[in-house]
Amino acid sequence: MSGQLLIEIYILVLAVFVGFEVISKVPPTLHTPLMSGSNAISGITIVGAILATGSMPGTISATLGMIAIILAMINVVGGFMVTGRMLRMFKK
């Protein structure tokens, strides 16, 4: 176990608390947009996917990474766009 891991665990715990504090009393209208918007954020895996694809060209890892980029981008672009579409609908 390294000090690095310990720091990462610190970050995890603090981020969970921030998450609970930041998202408070969500009105029912926003339940779906919050879900699809936060789902788009979970597409952050794209970072790992890009690294896997770009740093090991020609390996099986790069191929897996490429598929991961496609899936993560569907999640990111689709998620943010559909959330925006819903929220603009509410605005009217």
Partner 1 sequence: MQDLVIPIIYLFSAVFFILGLRQLSHPRTALKGNSTASIGMLLAIVATLLNNQILDFQSIFIAILIGSSIGAILAKRVEMTSMPQLVALFNGFGGAASLLVATAEFYRGGQFPAFIFLIITLSVLIGSVTFSGSFIAFLKLQGIMRGSPIQFKGQHAFNGLLVLLIIFSSLYGVLDPSQLSSMFLIIIGVSLLLGILFVLPIGGADMPVVISLLNSFSGLAACATGFVIQNDALIISGSLVGASGIILTDIMCKGMNRTIWNVLFAGVGATDTNTDNLQVDPMKSIKSYEPEDTVVIFENAKQVVIVPGYGLAVAQAQHMVHELQKLLEGKGVVVKYAIHPVAGRMPGHMNVLLAEANIPYDSLYDLDQINPEFEETDVTLVIGANDVVNPAARHDTNSPIFGMPILDVDKSQTVFVLKRSMNPGFAGIENELFYKDNTIMIFGDAKDTVSKLVSELK
Residue 15 contacts partner 1 per CB under 8 A: yes
Residue 16 contacts partner 1 per CB under 8 A: yes
What is the nearest approach in angstroms of partner 1 to the Cβ of residue 3?
A: 12
> Distance of CA 45 to CAs 4, 18, 21, 26, Å?
20, 20, 24, 26
Alpha-carbon 36 to chain mean position: 10
What is the nearest approach in angstroms of partner 1 to the Cβ of residue 10?
A: 10
**Binding marks (x or -) toward partner 1, 69..88, rule CB under 8 A?**
xxxxxxxxxxxxxxxxxxxx
What is the nearest approach in angstroms of partner 1 to the Cβ of residue 6?
A: 12
Residue 31 contacts partner 1 per CB under 8 A: yes
Q: What per-residue string of b and e applies to 51-78 under the rule 16 or more CB within 10 Å gives b?
A: ebbeeeeeeeeeeebeebbeebeebbee
Kindly state the tokens that stand for 84.
Answer: 């925006």
Residue 55 contacts partner 1 per CB under 8 A: yes
